[in-house]
Amino acid sequence: VQLVESGGGSVQAGGSLRLSCAASGYSVSTGCMAWFRQAPGKEREGVAFVYFGGGSTYYADSVKGRFTNSQDNAKNTVYLQMSSLKLEDTAMYFCVADEYAGPQDLVVVEAWHYWGQGTQVTVS
């Protein structure tokens, strides 16, 4: 399984970015996926969970109403649309996957077996 994130960058507060996570060896349409982030000096934080096969999504309170999951099955890619970005959204963002995870595992880093390399988001 390989997860490759892209789309990070620098943006002004209030702006938007869309992160992409291209998966190989893992089906985004039937498996569970999530986005974690880690700011300097802080622990990794789960921000968004999605299980497209079951139509289930979940967002951490810190991003609810501002971040949205989506997918492109043909490309086996998931996206995280981030809007109304805040300074505190600055972090390295990781795409993760695991067939047996659930939304409750957004607080359990160890529950996610597959991790991407991360993409940096900087809000100023």
Q: What is the pLDDT of residue 54?
A: 77
Residues of the chain with pLDDT > 90: what percent? 82
Q: What is the pLDDT of residue 114?
A: 97
Give a three-class secondary structure readout of the chain: CEEEEECCEEECCCCCEEEEEEEECCCCCCCEEEEEEECCCCCCEEEEEEECCCCEEEECCCCCCCEEEEEEHHHCEEEEEECCCCHHHCEEEEEEEECCCCHHHHHCHHHCCEECCCEEEEEC
Q: Mind listing the pLDDT tens digit for each residue in 78-96?
A: 999 999 999 999 999 999 9
Q: What is the mean pLDDT of each run of 10 residues along the chain (124 residues)?
A: 97 98 94 95 95 87 96 94 98 95 90 96 98
Q: What is the pLDDT of residue 69?
A: 93
Q: What is the pLDDT of residue 113?
A: 95
